[in-house]
Amino acid sequence: MSRFRAMDLRVTAKPDLTPVSDADTSVEREIRALLTAHRPGDGLLGEEYGEQPPTGPHDRRWVIDPIDGTKNFVRGVPVWATLIALLEGDRPVAGLVSAPALGRRWWGAPGLGAYAGPDAASGEPIQVSGVRDLADASFCYSSLSGWEAAGRLDPVLQLMRDTWRSRAYGDFYGYMLLAEGALDVMVEPELSLWDIAALVPIVTAAGGTITTLEGTPAPGGTVSGEISAIATNGPLHADVLSRLGRPTAR
């Protein structure tokens, strides 16, 4: 938190022109050091420092996004979070989202439930909504430009018209509001593994459904930029997927 809204915050551009701050790199270094000390042998994958393969007997990896929402962070918008996921093989089995500027954390694992609160000691169970009709649903998306680039802008605009309300909360926050039952659909056309890995166990443990645009289980892609997500409360999933989904190449 000490670097949030700091006057001397250093921000540079990555090769893909997305911003990275000195806070991103320092947070990831600290998390890596803690995991290396307490989970030796497990693999590590982080947005800023890449992959360290597992050396132990188990195929486990920790996936780290030190600051999800860096653009918000550098502009002083408090909607950003640290995301940490545990993967067994390619399957996310536990996730943690910590948003200190919002004073809130979310965590979950299938079979153990999903929780939210200011800290682990005061967490309360969360679950998705029971909305069953798109006309009653709250729809959330990331950016319209991303959907335009994916060639799916028109279906997204139609879905916005057909739902009760639509908002662009973006990044981790839409998924966590979905897990809490505050909204019903969250969609993104392009993600990296560190953007989504921690969110999947929380959404599913809260009773939601999350797939790619092809309808396969999320994250379902490679490390960077080839993952998409449709997350819903469950009852709405087939309808949303039929509207926004793209067929699997044969």
Q: Find, among 245, 234, 69, 244, the residue nearest to 160 by Cα.
A: 244
Residue 162 annotated as binding?
Answer: no
Residue 68 annotated as binding?
Answer: yes
Residue 42 annotated as binding?
Answer: no
Whole-number Å distance between alpha carbons of 65 and 70: 10
28-37 b/e (C-beta count within 10 Å ≥ 16 → b): beebbeebee
Tokens 């653009």 belong to 71
- Among left, alpha and beta (phi > 0; psi -120 to 50; other), residue 50 is left
Whole-number Å distance between alpha carbons of 10 and 204: 37
Residue 8 annotated as binding?
Answer: no
| H or E stretch at 26 | helix 22-38
Residue 47 annotated as binding?
Answer: yes
Whole-number Å distance between alpha carbons of 15 and 192: 15
The answer to whether 189 and 213 have CB atoms below 8 angstroms apart is: yes
Whole-number Å distance between alpha carbons of 73 and 4: 7
Which residues sit in the known binding site? 47, 65, 67-68, 195
Which residues are part of a known binding site for Mg(2+)?
A: 47, 65, 67-68, 195
